Amino acid sequence: MDFSYSEVQQMLQDSVKKFVSKNYDFDTRSKIIESEAGYSKDNWQLFAELGWLAVPLSEEDGGLGGSAVDLMVMMEEFGKANLVEPFLPSAVIGGSLVAELATNDQKSQILEKVVGGNLQLAYASAETGSRFNVSKVATSAEAKGDDIVINGKKIAVLNGPNADQLLVCARERGGESDADGISIFLVDPNTPGVTIRPFTNIDGQKSSEIDFIDVTITGASRIGDPGDAFAAMEKVNDKAVLGVSAEAVGVLETLLQKTVEYSKTRKQFGTVIGTFQALQHRMADMFIECQLARSIVVMAAMKLDSSADQREKTKAVSAAKSRVGKAIRRVSQEAVQIHGGIGVTNELDVGHYFKRATALEIMFGNTDYHVERFASL
């Protein structure tokens, strides 16, 4: 089996590397995350000009193909640079959800703006107590004439503070954990009754909690058919899991590289610590974990691009996320241990990679969750 990248994928990888080398050093990133928005609007427009925002979408939806391997290539390079721009929540999750559910008219109104960098989306799905369960939705959507009234609370909404539109999952029928009855609605964050409480994640990226109290929207704001969004939500969730897994691989490879470099210059007892056999063994184990993680993410990406049924795709994605989660714990913690106390300071980039790795391990299901999910399929 040929695991080499295609010419287009190599060009995509090279374009990200070139952007990072010119525009995204550690000092520049530090200034970006300290800004009010928490990301660079200039970079976001450049992403659009380079065509990156179109990568997650199929050609029929105005994208560049929507290949899972293409997404993996990009996310791995983003992880190496520790990019903070909201590519995953807006382009990958938001764009893919609209592409899966929306009518042609809705797609033409939304996706063109997303790909052009003129519209940012945020997916408001997680709720208190849902614990990664996509179908556990208590937020209600009640029809009143031609309008819909939404009531509920969403937590950990990635890109919530900066989104131009919110994709809100709410229940139109059924019980709190039923797969049937969930719909997706496009909601303007400035609509009366919407309250956004922004906060900064441990990795410096922006999220929010959002309250919906008697939020009234038109029936045309529903994306797709009433109560029929669950299958698309699961499919997009798997795509997001692949994205964060690939990003984690990039983060871990950078942590390994920086740890090896540090071990060649840091002296202890008059000798560089990289000559100590015990540390060499630990760094060799870090390398093995990185390779295992990367291999299983490649497998998951190829499975998503295959003709396998959704159950097999979900199983492959959960296998990847659980393996990557174990690698995150081993590699990131070893990196900090070998660096010592400086490894968790804001003055050294290793600490920022460690925080991002920690966040990625939790996002869209931690290791334990995906082990259980894999076993149940």
DSSP code string of 246-259? HHHHHHHHHHHHHH
- What's the pLDDT score for residue 4? 81
**What is the pLDDT averaged over residues 103-114?**
96
Contact call for residues 355 and 203 (beta carbons, < 8 A): yes
**Least confident residue range of 4-8, 22-26, 316-320:** 4-8
Separation in Å, CA 126 to CA 9, 153, 167, 288, 344: 33, 9, 12, 34, 29
Q: Structural domain of residue 269, as residue ranges?
A: 231-376
Asked if pLDDT for residue 284 goes beyond 90, the answer is yes
pLDDT of residue 350: 96
Q: Which of 14, 163, 153 is nearest to 93 (CA)?
A: 163
In a domain, 306, yes or no: yes
Is the per-residue pLDDT at 236 higher than 90?
A: yes
Closest CA to 361 of 72, 79, 157: 79
The Cα–Cα gap between 223 and 150 comes to 14
Distance in angstroms (rounded) separating the CA atoms of residues 193 and 170: 15
| 97 and 134 belong to one structural domain | no
At 88 the three-state DSSP class reads: helix
Does the pLDDT value for residue 319 go beyond 90?
yes
Determine the pLDDT at residue 269: 87
Which of 326, 297, 328 shows the shortest CA–CA distance to 3?
297
pLDDT band at 325 (very low <50, low <70, confident <90, very high): very high
Looking at the structure, tell me whether residues 25 and 105 fall in a common domain: yes
CATH code for the domain of 136: 2.40.110.10
The answer to whether residues 18 and 134 belong to one domain is: no
Whether the pLDDT of residue 376 is over 70: the answer is yes
pLDDT digits (tens, 9 = 90+) for 50-83: 999 999 999 999 999 989 999 999 999 999 999 9
pLDDT given for residue 66 in this prediction: 87
pLDDT on residue 5: 87
Q: In this structure, are 196 and 249 located in the same domain?
A: no
Last residue of one domain, picked from the residues 194, 227, 260: 227
The secondary structure of residue 2, as a DSSP letter, is -
C-alpha count within 13 angstroms, C-beta hemisphere, residue 237: 22
pLDDT attached to residue 2: 66
Instruction: Based on the fold, state whether residues 157 and 70 are members of the same structural domain.
Output: no
Contacts of 330 (CB under 8 A, 6+ apart): 285, 286, 289
Whether residues 255 and 371 fall in one domain:
yes
Average pLDDT across the chain, whole number? 96
pLDDT of residue 198: 97
Query: What are residue 105's DSSP bridge partners?
Result: none
On whether residue 2 sits in a domain, the answer given is: no
User: With contact defined as beta carbons under 8 Å apart, do 54 and 66 qualify?
Assistant: no
Mean predicted confidence (pLDDT) in 96-113: 96
* Range from 122-126, 258-262, 344-348, 354-358 carrying the lowest mean pLDDT: 344-348
Distance CA 53, CA 46 (A): 10
- If asked whether residues 191 and 100 sit together in one domain, one would say no
Indicate if 75 and 184 belong to the same structural domain: no
Q: Based on the domain organization, do 104 and 77 belong to the same domain?
A: yes
Q: Do 358 and 238 have their domain in common?
A: yes
Tell me if 184 is assigned to some domain.
Answer: yes
The span from the CA of 311 to the CA of 376, in Å, is 11
Number of domains the chain is built from:
3
Instruction: Select from 181, 207, 227 the last residue of a domain.
Output: 227
Distance of CA 4 to the CA centre of its chain: 24
Q: What pLDDT does residue 367 have?
A: 97
Domain final position from 189, 204, 227? 227
pLDDT tens figures, 2-14: 678 888 899 999 9
Residue 276 lies in a domain: yes
Using one digit for the tens of pLDDT, what is the confidence trace for 148-161? 999 999 999 999 99
Buried b (16+ CB within 10 A) or exposed e, 156-195: bbbbbbbbebbbbbbbbeeeeeebebbbbbbbebeeeebe
- pLDDT tens per residue, range 182-191: 999 999 999 9
Would you say 73 and 208 are in contact if contact means Cβ atoms under 8 Å apart? Answer: no
User: Which H helix or E strand runs over 297?
Assistant: helix 277-304
- pLDDT for 1: 60
- In CATH, what number is assigned to the domain containing residue 297? 1.20.140.10
CA 261 to mean position of chain CA atoms = 29
Cβ neighbors of 107 (< 8 A, separation 6 or more) are 61, 62, 98, 99
Distance CA 164, CA 245 (A): 27
CA distances from 286 to 74, 81, 171, 257, 342 (A): 23, 19, 44, 10, 19
Which helix (H) or strand (E) segment is 123 a member of? strand 121-124
Contact 165, 209 (CB under 8 A): no
What is d(CA 308, CA 214) in angstroms, rounded to the nearest whole number?
Answer: 42
Phi/psi for 118 (5° steps) reads -100, -5
Q: Are residues 236 and 370 in the same domain?
A: yes
Is the torsion defined by CA of 222, 90, 189, 49 positive or negative?
Answer: negative
Q: Calculate the alpha carbon distances from 299 to 7, 248, 303, 317, 318 in Å.
A: 19, 15, 6, 9, 11
